[in-house]
Structure 1
Amino acid sequence: MLFEGTIFELTRIRIALVLMTLLIAALFAIAMRNPQRVPRGGQNVAEVAIDFVRNTVASESLGKKEGNRYLPYLVTLFFFVLGANVLAITPGVDIAASSTIGLPFLLAMLTWLIYHVQGIREHGVFGYIKVQTVVPGVPKLLAPVVILLEALQALIIRPFSLMLRLMANMMAGHILLVLFFSGASYLLLHGEGLLPVAGAGSAVMGLLFTGFELFVAALQAYIFTLLTAMYINMAIGHEH
């Protein structure tokens, strides 16, 4: 294995993630290589995909002006997470890159860095700290507690929840698929009496859940991107 024993070790999941990323980038590059005023074919599909993120995530959470400003990052994030999630049902891989801790942690930290940097650029250091921690109308006796809770939320809870939500959902899906198909394999090959019937039922459930896992992959990519847009809006907004 290349770079074995180092943090750059190219495991099966990492190789698959790189190939999936290159595939998505190539599809968009081919679709938009010669853009026309009236889109057709691949360009039309690519524009519909980008408009989905623009209309349902960027503009909805950030407004039209700020939404267009952050659209490149949000589009890239959505399709990267989607590709990482779809690996869960890709033959030969069968596990989402986002079901291991490394990728969700990296993406959560990247989002965390972006919204804090943009918030500081918008408000200045002390202004940003005030926006993130001071809640108007809170009684003075409770203010220190509220400030502490708000600071914990901005610094720890938001990135942790982003990371954990994505990883836990994709890991749960992977475990269920393994249970269904491994159970079906064992019961069909080694079961006696009515057990092969149960194995066939387990296989059917596995196939049905594979379709559901595709829906979950898209849903988790959408949620991760939507929360990222909401956190950026909370960082650059002028109201708590």
Structure 2
Amino acid sequence: MTKLLASGGEFVAPGVKDFFLPPIFGGVTKPMVLLVLSIVIIAAFFLAASRNLKLIPGKFQFAAESVYDFGRNNIAREQIGAKDFKPFIPLILTIFTFILVNNLFGLIPLIQFPTMSHIGFPLAVSLLVVYPVYHFVGFKRHGFVGYLKHQTVPPGAPWFVLPLLIPIEFFQKFILNPLTLAIRVFAAMFAGHLLLLVFTLAGEFLLLNGGLTVIVAPVSFAFAIALTFLEALIMCLQAYIFALLSASYIGMALAEEH
């Protein structure tokens, strides 16, 4: 959908330009503020929930414990392994909650902007946090040469295919994985928010300027509402996938075999 013409008006669909918001002050933009706000929210949530711990938890403590248990057992333990997962619980839990809160900003009234729809933010998490951690622990456990072999030489591969496999494995493990980790959540947040904008603004346009086509406006709003629920599910799922893959990369780096 590019343009809708009705009653002399013109609807220009939202696009990439709508994701580049003007600075609030100086060089500080809304996504930057939301990034800091997400850290404050997460820190306040866990500090408040753990301030007065009880044997029988209240609703707030139960919610925090549920999030912690999910990150600990369903992500870190399963992907890294029972032997090595404990030191990485804070990292995986932080990644999961950080991505989740920044995604959910896209559904909060007045905010309505998923921070991860700017490619720079998921790239920063992937390249500056996840990427160094899993390669560092891999080099530490296996040694420099041992880790390179561990990552690039599939066990049991015939020697004559190694000249082809080694460059492919190296490219995947050291270049492609951190990029796809970031692009996955960025693409989902960008596309989802763009669709919500299209149906919401199109419904408003048809309602106010559509002439006889005003009867189509409720259909556009209905699609926007349905997409909102779908987007909420995708936001949670993408946070889970990002944390899951981060833990998986750490687990593969530490594993004795692929």
TM-score of Structure 1 vs Structure 2, range by shorter chain: over 0.9
Pairwise CA RMSD: 1.4
Is contact 1:112-1:159 (8 Å) kept? Answer: yes
Partner of residue 148, structure 2: 129
Partner of residue 98, structure 1: 116
Is contact 1:180-1:203 (8 Å) kept? Answer: yes
Is contact 1:17-1:83 (8 Å) kept? Answer: no
Partner of residue 153, structure 1: 172
Deviation at 1:92, TM superposition (A): 2.2
Q: 1:3 to 1:125 in 2, by over 3 A?
A: farther
The amino acid across from 1:139 in the alignment is P
Is contact 1:85-1:97 (8 Å) kept? Answer: yes
Identity among equivalent pairs (%): 37
Deviations 1:194-228 (A, max 9, x none): x1121111112112211211111100000000000
Deviation at 1:16, TM superposition (A): 2.0
TM-score (norm 1): 0.93
CA distance in 1, matches of 2:133, 2:187: 23
Is contact 1:180-1:205 (8 Å) kept? Answer: yes
Give the match's secondary structure for 2:257.
coil
Partner of residue 230, structure 1: 248
Counterpart of 1:177 (choices 181, 185, 196) is 196
The amino acid across from 1:15 in the alignment is V
Task: Work out whether 1:107 is the aligned partner of 2:93.
Answer: no
Deviation at 1:2, TM superposition (A): 6.8
Partner of residue 56, structure 1: 74
Give the match's secondary structure for 1:65.
coil
The amino acid across from 2:131 in the alignment is W
Counterpart of 2:229 (choices 208, 211, 214) is 211
Is contact 2:75-2:244 (8 Å) kept? Answer: yes
Is contact 1:13-1:93 (8 Å) kept? Answer: no
Task: Work out whether 1:27 is the aligned partner of 2:45.
Answer: yes
Deviation at 1:93, TM superposition (A): 2.6
Is contact 2:24-2:30 (8 Å) kept? Answer: no
CA distance in 2, matches of 1:219, 1:55: 17
Task: Flag structure 2 segments of 5+ consecutive residues without an equivalent.
Answer: 1-22
Superposed, which structure 2 residues align to 1:83-94 within 5 Å?
83-94=101-112
Deviation at 1:64, TM superposition (A): 2.4
CA distance in 2, matches of 1:135, 1:175: 41
Partner of residue 83, structure 2: 65
CA distance in 1, matches of 2:178, 2:132: 10
Q: 1:2 to 1:203 in 2, by over 3 A?
A: closer
The amino acid across from 1:34 in the alignment is N
Q: Which moved more, 1:182-191 or 1:56-65?
A: 56-65
Deviation at 1:24, TM superposition (A): 2.1
Deviation at 1:3, TM superposition (A): 6.9
CA distance in 2, matches of 1:38, 1:126: 51
Deviation at 1:54, TM superposition (A): 1.6
Give the match's secondary structure for 2:160.
coil
TM-score (norm 2): 0.87
Consecutive aligned runs of 4 or more in structure 1 exceeding 6 Å deviation: none
Partner of residue 31, structure 2: 13
Superposed, which structure 2 residues align to 1:182-201 within 5 Å?
182-193=201-212, 195-201=213-219
